[in-house]
Amino acid sequence: MRVLVTGGAGYIGSHTLLELTAQGHEVCVLDNYSNATPEVLTRVRSLSNGIIHDFIGDVRDTAKLDEVMQDFVPEAVIHFAGLKAVGESTEKPLLYYDVNVSGTLTLLRAMERAGCNRIIFSSSATVYGEPVYLPYDEAHPTNPTSVYGRSKLMAEQILTDWAATSPERTAVLLRYFNPVGAHASAQIGEDPTGVPDNLMPFIAQVAVGKRDALQVFGNDYDTPDGTGRRDYIHVVDLARAHVAALNYAQGATGARPFNIGTGQSYSVREMVAAFERACGKPIATKQVGRRAGDIAAMQADSSRANAELDWVATHDLDAMTASTWAWQSKNPDGYKGS
Ligand SMILES: NC(=O)c1ccc[n+]([C@@H]2O[C@H](COP(=O)([O-])OP(=O)(O)OC[C@H]3O[C@@H](n4cnc5c(N)ncnc54)[C@H](O)[C@@H]3O)[C@@H](O)[C@H]2O)c1
């Protein structure tokens, strides 16, 4: 299939390009490089035999989108382009709504003009908010506690209303849990700008000597060791979920959300211990207070994705930590080192 991948130069997008091309899909990336570098596509191309077109542009730019649609004529779109820092979203709500909500609207309008009827959307487990029960299934109430989470839920609602207007239309809403890990080649991986927002890249930067110690936010949660528990999913498993979603979208109509996680959760302390096993050295930690907005624990019920997308996560915790360490130790400065 001809697949337009917005935000394809980002962390999850780059891994997905490899899985898509490995399955024979022809891809086209649209990215404004606000959180990526063109070096990513150089490396993806070196790892892939597939056809990878690319355009530099913003998903809010109508003229650019029309140009891409006319040039590439996609049969489906995978929409990764967006902003993802929960803390920053509170400080810059209008920017987050503009990119994540208006960006999705602008993209859908361009798809309508081009007659493209299938979209796979990067949503997030943050749409659920404080757990009413765990594991979260897709019927769990949605009550996001951040601007970021609300922007994802708004985009989901727009996509759902759009998909309902014609039986030809499909929107697959993938609610990711916590993506970690890197490609087996150690050539592509997560390369956050500034201080990492997420646990795994922070631990990796401590291990490689770029940061002194991991701050552990809170040790008084109602969990066995008092630290927060999350459902971590290997980025290659997540990338494969997009290929599965694309196959599903060919025979589906309307919008449908799917949790993409492993169903298992690990605490901050367990993640640190697993990373120490992978890198063979101790990770310094510093205990600090809870971070506003963090919840004690969460994990996914991904049985709908297992059954309907015919997808299942295959990478375990050791594969997640080992691949992160391989990427970080070979690329201590991320893509900037090349
Ligand atoms: N990584 C996570 O923890 C996580 C969890 C749940 C959902 N998501 C969602 O998945 C998607 C991809 O996440 P990621 O971790 O790969 O992030 P990322 O920042 O690495 O990738 C996003 C890509 O989109 C591009 N981009 C941003 N704004 C753009 C715009 N206006 N126009 C064109 N391109 C733009 C960036 O340059 C980057 O290459 C995002 O929508 C994110 O909200 C991520």
**CATH code assigned at 127:** 3.40.50.720
Judged against a pLDDT cut of 90, whether residue 70 lies above it is answered with yes
Q: Give the H/E segment covering residue 27.
A: strand 26-31
Helix boundaries (H) for 167-254 = 199-207, 235-250
Question: Considering 97, 148, 176, 335, which one is annotated as catalytic?
Answer: 148
- Any atom of ligand 1 within 6 Å of the Cβ of 12: yes
Tokens for 4? Answer: 């337009």
- Same domain? For 164 and 50 the reply is yes
Q: Which pLDDT value is given to residue 289?
A: 96
- Any atom of ligand 1 within 6 Å of the Cβ of 54: no
Other C-beta atoms closer than 10 Å to the C-beta of 34 total 12
Residue 134 located in a structural domain:
yes
Query: Which tens digits make up the pLDDT trace of 315-335?
Result: 999 999 999 999 999 999 999
148 carries an active-site annotation: yes
Q: Which pLDDT value is given to residue 166?
A: 97
Residue 128 located in a structural domain:
yes
- Any atom of ligand 1 within 6 Å of the Cβ of 32: yes
Judged against a pLDDT cut of 80, whether residue 66 lies above it is answered with yes
d(CA 231, CA 302): 11
Tell me, in angstroms, the distance from the centre of ligand 1 to residue 78's CA. 11
> Candidates 31, 105, 180, 260: which one to mutate for ligand 1, based on the most atoms within 8 Å of Cβ?
31
- Same domain? For 205 and 310 the reply is no
What pairing do the DSSP bridges indicate for beta strands 2-6 and 76-79?
parallel
- Any atom of ligand 1 within 6 Å of the Cβ of 80: yes
pTM exceeds 0.95: yes
- Same domain? For 293 and 306 the reply is no
Query: Which tens digits make up the pLDDT trace of 229-255?
Result: 999 999 999 999 999 999 999 999 999
Tell me, in angstroms, the distance from the centre of ligand 1 to residue 245's CA. 18
Domain limits for position 215 = 199-229+264-298+326-337
- Same domain? For 210 and 98 the reply is no
CATH number at residue 212: 3.90.25.10
- Same domain? For 216 and 238 the reply is no
**CB of 237 within 8 A of CB of 179?**
no
Residue 86 located in a structural domain:
yes
Query: Which tens digits make up the pLDDT trace of 78-135?
Result: 999 999 999 899 999 999 999 999 999 999 999 999 999 999 999 999 999 999 999 9
- Any atom of ligand 1 within 6 Å of the Cβ of 181: no
Counting atoms of ligand 1 from 1, which one is nearest the CA of 9? 39
- Same domain? For 208 and 80 the reply is no
Q: Which pLDDT value is given to residue 293?
A: 79
**CB of 178 within 8 A of CB of 184?**
no
Query: Which tens digits make up the pLDDT trace of 139-193?
Result: 999 999 999 999 999 999 999 999 999 999 999 999 999 999 999 999 999 999 8
* Residue nearest (by alpha carbon) to ligand 1 atom 1: 179
Residue 319 located in a structural domain:
no
Residue 167 located in a structural domain:
yes
d(CA 69, CA 73): 5
- Any atom of ligand 1 within 6 Å of the Cβ of 31: yes
**CB of 57 within 8 A of CB of 30?**
yes
* Residue nearest (by alpha carbon) to ligand 1 atom 35: 81
Judged against a pLDDT cut of 80, whether residue 338 lies above it is answered with no
- Any atom of ligand 1 within 6 Å of the Cβ of 84: yes
Query: Which tens digits make up the pLDDT trace of 263-312?
Result: 999 999 999 999 999 999 999 999 999 988 789 999 999 999 999 999 99
- Same domain? For 204 and 159 the reply is no
Tell me, in angstroms, the distance from the centre of ligand 1 to residue 122's CA. 8
**CB of 29 within 8 A of CB of 2?**
no
- Same domain? For 122 and 205 the reply is no
d(CA 315, CA 319): 6
Q: Which pLDDT value is given to residue 294?
A: 87
Number of domains the chain is built from: 2
* Residue nearest (by alpha carbon) to ligand 1 atom 10: 122
Q: Which pLDDT value is given to residue 13?
A: 98
Query: Which tens digits make up the pLDDT trace of 255-264?
Result: 999 999 999 9
- Same domain? For 145 and 249 the reply is yes
Query: Which tens digits make up the pLDDT trace of 193-210?
Result: 888 989 999 999 999 999
- Same domain? For 99 and 247 the reply is yes
Q: What is the DSSP string of 74-133?
A: -SEEEE--S---HHHHHH-HHHHIIIIIIHHHHHHHHHHHHT--EEEEEEEGGGT-S-SS
- Same domain? For 142 and 38 the reply is yes
Q: Which pLDDT value is given to residue 272?
A: 98
Judged against a pLDDT cut of 90, whether residue 337 lies above it is answered with no
Residue 189 located in a structural domain:
no
- Any atom of ligand 1 within 6 Å of the Cβ of 74: no
**CB of 216 within 8 A of CB of 210?**
no
